[in-house]
Amino acid sequence: MSTRILLTAALLATVVSTSWAGDGHDHGDAPPAANSNGPKRLPDGSVFLPKPAQRQIGVRTLPIEAGELPRAVELAGRVVMDPNAGGKVQAMVAGRLEAGPKGFAGIGQRVSKGEVLAYVTPSSGQIERANQAAQLAELRAARGLAEKRVARLKELADTVPKKEIEATESELLSLTERVAAVGGGLSQRDALVAPVAGVIASSNAVAGQVVDARELVFEVVDPQRLRIEALAYDADVAADVAAASIAVGQTRVPLFFLGSARSLREQALPLMFRGEGPLMGRLAVGQPLKVYVQTRSKVQGFSVPAASLMKNPANQTIVWVKTAPERFEPRTVTIESLDGANVAVTSGLKAGERVVTQAATLVNQVR
């Protein structure tokens, strides 16, 4: 009886355990089904991107047209100050720095031409100062005697020759000027003034600091009047400059070619450019940047924003082309420099195709 009861209980347990799920309803640990309408990379390498996702990430495209573009050369450059709108403030004598009427000028502070930025109290040895003080005392005593002598001679003007009175007065004037010169040398300070109107680009001034003669204390520049210096290792570039520009952020700033040097520096020929506009105020003296020099020769291609360029897993340069309302294909391209904000695509594209110009990085990351 007990054996029959055990067999019946085991059979009931089996029935109950299998009644929880039917065929096709036992999910187990299987992953949930993927959303077929979401962004995804297709087997051929293209990207499926629905319209809502395109609006969310801000995808923008631009149709391209073929044309003749100027061949450009990319040069290494740096920002330098305009010698007519900037200057250096150096100490003329060795001494100790003291604050000016408005205190020490700080970096970024705007100053006017001729404004006193600091004072330098000349430094001299104790023996030298003692000799100057002794000389000053002797000159003051001699001046006192000369003053008394002039007074006596004026009282005897009727009996003393006039030329003797004039000689004594001349001696008194000479002693007075010598006293003023020696006394000023003991207490005079060298004023450091701003050579031009602008802002403080660099400051090495600290209260109580001891500086040497010709030591740089301040640099003053006009941020709207800066120059760009570029180094060209091909001397023919200097003779074929048609236009030039730099890229400040995503904006292209045109440059005006001023000329080239007639001596090499680091085996390169320096070229000088001038830029104008409010964006030049964002640059700093000494800042390295790329200068795009356009020559008079032409190249056939498409002008594409530099932000459209991406890299594929093989480290090739690609752009994304919109081939359907929700489909984007990568195209391997060959490029040349143009103006910093744009590049010239010489192969890999066709006229009329729409290239992704905004959010290309996000499209490239879809997997």
pLDDT single digits (tens) 119-135: 988 876 556 666 667 77
Hey, where are the domains in the chain?
A: 36-84+225-367, 86-221
Q: Work out the pLDDT band at 187, boundaries 50, 70, 90.
A: low
State mean pLDDT over 267-292.
89
- Lowest model confidence (mean pLDDT) among 12-16, 106-110, 213-217, 335-339: 12-16
Residue 269 has pLDDT above 50, yes or no: yes
**Encoding tokens for residue 163?**
């030329």
Tell me if residue 250 falls in helix, strand or coil. coil
Distance CA 176, CA 181 (A): 9
Contact present, 363 and 328 (Cβ < 8 Å): yes
Instruction: State the burial class of residue 147 (Cβ atoms within 10 Å of its Cβ: 0-12, 13-18, 19+).
Output: middle
Q: Which residues pair with 87 in a beta bridge?
A: 220
Contact present, 333 and 310 (Cβ < 8 Å): no
CATH of domain 86-221: 2.40.50.100
C-alpha to C-alpha distances, 182 to 153, 176, 253, nearest whole angstrom: 28, 10, 56
Quick one: pLDDT at residue 130? 66
The label of the residue with tokens 């502070």 reads 109
Q: What is the pLDDT of residues 214-260, one digit of tens each?
A: 899 999 999 888 999 999 988 888 888 888 888 887 788 889 999 88
Instruction: State the burial class of residue 76 (Cβ atoms within 10 Å of its Cβ: 0-12, 13-18, 19+).
Output: middle
CATH top-level class for 36-84+225-367? mainly beta
Q: What is the pLDDT of residues 47-93, one digit of tens each?
A: 999 999 999 999 999 998 888 888 888 899 999 999 888 999 999 88
Q: Work out the pLDDT band at 2, boundaries 50, 70, 90.
A: very low
Quick one: pLDDT at residue 12? 38
Contact present, 310 and 320 (Cβ < 8 Å): yes
Q: Work out the pLDDT band at 169, boundaries 50, 70, 90.
A: confident
Residue 318 has pLDDT above 90, yes or no: yes
State mean pLDDT over 317-342.
89
Alpha carbon 115 to its chain's center: 26
Quick one: pLDDT at residue 14? 43
Quick one: pLDDT at residue 7? 40
State mean pLDDT over 83-107.
89
Quick one: pLDDT at residue 186? 55
Distance CA 75, CA 235 (A): 12
State mean pLDDT over 315-334.
92
Tell me if residue 191 falls in helix, strand or coil. strand
**Encoding tokens for residue 232?**
């060209």
- Lowest model confidence (mean pLDDT) among 24-33, 62-71, 101-110, 130-139: 24-33
Residue 299 has pLDDT above 60, yes or no: yes
**C-beta neighbour count of 129 within 10 angstroms:** 13
Quick one: pLDDT at residue 275? 86
CA torsion 89-90-92-93 (nearest 10°) is 130
The radius of gyration of the chain's CA atoms, rounded to the nearest angstrom, is 41
Quick one: pLDDT at residue 113? 92
- Per cent of the chain over pLDDT 70 is 86
Quick one: pLDDT at residue 217? 93
For 352, what's the count of Cα atoms within 13 Å in the CB-facing half-sphere?
1
Quick one: pLDDT at residue 170? 85
pTM: 0.63
Cβ contacts of residue 215 below 8 Å, gap of 6+?
A: 90, 91, 204
H or E element at residue 221: strand 216-221
Residue 160 has pLDDT above 90, yes or no: no
Distance CA 356, CA 84 (A): 44
Q: Work out the pLDDT band at 162, boundaries 50, 70, 90.
A: confident
